[in-house]
Chains A and B, each alone.
Chain A
């Protein structure tokens, strides 16, 4: 696709612009666009477990199960990540930061973009991990609640802190103590994701949107409001709006939030619950306002001046995508060195200049300012104090709670 690219822009700005024409972290596919995965998972899972006729217990092996570490002999690491979630050079074939890593350490990275959707990817790796086999991957990147589940199931390995000096020193305070992995024994953040309210000025037609309550109650927006099919984002934002803390809420609070949303669904206020495909609804004006991921909105804004976002007075949700080392990975040390590499301010800045998510690395700002001053001052990429103070995380759920909550949320979205 030929695109007009002004030549006065810095390489980083050009990159940002080009990226905005394509999907962001797999804008179209990320959460909801479901390949025919359910059937496939049945078929694949079927063979492994048929002999037992039943699925064996997950067997919580504290600290994970390591395999013999081939890191010293095989100078390679297999890195599975989401689509469009790393820097790419002009030719679209190389990832400059990964090339630098190879230069620094001599380890080559086999980078695969095979994660499109958390639940779908879980379905894909579950049979191997449950059977205690190597998945062929040394690093996987998963959103916090799924990372929490894998840690809970004992399917990922404890990290060796001595290989992670930069990561330990530079991880920003905001991400240090998630309740599902205190002190980051198993996981390090790849990028943070902020959930905000996005709107299309033209479609709002003079209406003002400042909070989730406006989305749910303003009858002028009836049928033109979108929420996310990601339970924690939609419910988290609603809980905040109701004055509850998503980090410490009770089952009753949860039910109240569901009831609040259900009322809006019944009235026809909420048009749809979407995955990443809300971006097309928002640009076309079918959504006047919706709950959205800030990284997408930064990109949409570059394309269309009508689109903007606000951060509600009551706060916003932040989740993270985390790097994990699955059980039986062959190159654990190499994987840890790669994690550590991305916690040096320079590579972190190069990554942040290319993808517009929240950088988890302290000290990235001066480096980013050299590459792309606008990005360095964008609170969505590097949160300032005021921003960070409004950020909230969803508390981790027990297995039972997770099932019950997801079921209620599924009923809300039409099952």
Chain B
């Protein structure tokens, strides 16, 4: 399949053979890597080690914290907060699927059908990033206000009766329900889905579509057998870019949710800042990281795109 993606190489006059330059700086690549490695070391590896150490410490602010290899913190944290873990994965999964469903047609449109509007639509996709994440999320509170037109319309169409029955909303409101949180997540992470999808769709050679047509494939078949498989790298990186931050997000649940929609990010935040239980907060962060890592590995294996990520 990989061969299909490559357009036939243009015929070029064979370049005159150059002598390989004398290998002067054998270590040059390593010197070039140094800033990046230092950065990773200082801002990723060290905090990570510190966090790992924190998670197996016991103590209090007054007496100080000592490493006691108290691994039970992990089990206690998991036993206490598994509902929030599950909820985070559920909400992030739902938001990712929604993003894909909403984002794919748009990315397809931009890549193949937008013509001279392409740049404008791209700007519109990115435009929300010009305002802060918080402001964007708060705007949803105005849009979905109980007395607002959106909720009014959903009510008169009896949509909220259905979502209430499904347990996504409560009564005749949208705010402070799971639906609002998932909508907020979807909205906030949608561009992260659209951009990678667009990049991989845009790379598809239009002649492949023509070729599929020549072979009597209906448009649906063309999409199923040619376009979609070729856009898989975009689908995989888009879903990862959406799912991973969404699973750790706490702003949407805080502002648009209620007591029964708190996600694991909220728990970590409360544990760290409010209860000052640093070990539990660190352990929860590690569990979240491990869970996401596991799921992502499994997902990449399953989608057979190891070479793409």
Contact = CB atoms under 8 A, between A and B. Distances in A.
B274 A284 contact: no
B273 A122 contact: yes
Contacts of B254: 32, 34
B39 interface: no
B163 interface: no
A132 to B, nearest CB: 13
**Interface size class, chain B:** 35 or more
A213 interface: no
Contacts of A56: 64
B149 to A, nearest CB: 13
A414 interface: yes
Residue of B42, B62, B84, B259 contacting most chain A CB atoms (<10 Å) = B259
Contact of A55 (B57, B175, B267): B57
Interface in B63-93: 63-67, 80-81, 84
Contacts of A413: 259, 262
A286 B146 contact: yes
B251 interface: yes
Interface string A44-59: 0111011001111110
Interface in A154-174: none
Band of interface residues on A: 35 or more
B202 interface: no
Contacts of B67: 53-54
B43 A153 contact: no
Given A55-B65, A399-B61, A41 B272 contact: yes
Contacts of B80: 415
A413 B268 CA distance: 14
Contact of A49 (B43, B50, B262): B50
Interface string A13-51: 000000000000000100011100110011101110110
A375 B273 CA distance: 36
Interface stretch (B14-22, B137-145, B206-214): B137-145
Contacts of A284: 141-142, 145-148
6 contacts: A54-B57, A224-B146, A271-B176, A280-B138, A280-B142, A410-B270
Given A34-B273, A37-B273, 15 more contacts: A34-B250, A38-B272, A53-B53, A54-B57, A55-B54, A119-B274, A120-B273, A223-B171, A265-B259, A277-B138, A277-B141, A285-B147, A414-B84, A414-B259, A415-B262
